[in-house]
Structure 1
Amino acid sequence: MAAQKGKDLLLKLDEAGDGSFATIAGLRARKLSFNAETVDITDTESAGRWRELLGGAGVSRASLSGSGIFKDAGSDATLRSIFFAGRIAAFEAVIPDFGRVSGPFQVTALEYAGEHNGEVTFDVALESAGALRFDGI
């Protein structure tokens, strides 16, 4: 895979819950992380006392994060209301030349910052809240 433009990694929201995703805000930095817990089943009879893991038994999760500027008051209000309501909403991450990851996420952090001579920026963090779907390109 050739190098990709960071601006092409998009974070989208399905606000209405009808399957139509729209890009949220003007994200300048975005990140998608996948993690899986391990289940250690090592015992006294493990070969060479090497750790043994139970495949497919741990909890999987995904984290989405981004920072940037809101494109309008509406996108700010939407994300803010999802956060304060503790609502689970459908988000989608578009990864160029890889695919789309979508599913339920909860907004777990929302931070605002600003410099005296600059614009107001925000940071947002989301955690998966159910099964995710991957659609490859």
Structure 2
Amino acid sequence: MAAQSGKDMLLKLDRDGSGSFLTVAGLRTRSLSFNAASVDTTDQESAGRWRELLAGGGVKRASVSGAGVFKDQASDGIIRSLFFSGTIRNWQLILPDFGTVAGPFQIVALEFSADHAGEVTFDLALESAGEVTFVAA
């Protein structure tokens, strides 16, 4: 796969639960990580005392983070409202030439910062709140 432009990785939000997704504007950086907890089934009869894991066991989760600038008061208001209400919404992360990761997420962190000579920026973190799907491009 050839190198991809980072600006083509999009984070989209179903802002009102209608299934109509809009791109979260102003994001300069985005990241996605998957994690799965292991379930240790090691016992005194485990071969060579090597750890054994339960296949398919444990809790899986996806985390998404982004940072950027709000483009307008409306997008700022939507994100802020979802954070303070603790609302879970469907989100999509589109990875060019790879696919789309989608599912319910909750905003678990929202941070604003500013420099005297610069713009106000924000950082947000999302945690999966249900089954996450992947559809290849």
Give TM-score scaled by structure 1 length: 0.97
- The alpha-carbon deviation at position 16 of structure 1 amounts to 2.1
- The alpha-carbon deviation at position 47 of structure 1 amounts to 0.9
Contact 1:25–1:76 (CA under 8 A) maintained in structure 2: no
Residue 104 of structure 2 corresponds to which residue in structure 1? 104
Structure 2: stretches of 5+ with no match in the other structure: none
1:60-98 deviations in Å (ceiling 9; x for gaps): 000000000011100000000000001101111001111
Q: What are the within-5 Å matches in structure 2 for residues 1-137 of structure 1?
A: 1-137=1-137
Percent identity over paired residues: 64
Whole-Å Cα distance in 2 between the matches of residues 4 and 51 of structure 1? 39
Whole-Å Cα distance in 2 between the matches of residues 8 and 48 of structure 1? 48
Whole-Å Cα distance in 2 between the matches of residues 5 and 131 of structure 1? 28
Provide runs of 4+ in structure 1 moved above 6 Å.
none
Whole-Å Cα distance in 1 between the matches of residues 30 and 97 of structure 2? 16
Contact 1:15–1:89 (CA under 8 A) maintained in structure 2: yes
Contact 1:13–1:24 (CA under 8 A) maintained in structure 2: yes
1:31-67 deviations in Å (ceiling 9; x for gaps): 0000000000011111111110001111000000000
> What secondary structure does 1:7 align onto?
helix
Letter in 2 for 1:58: G
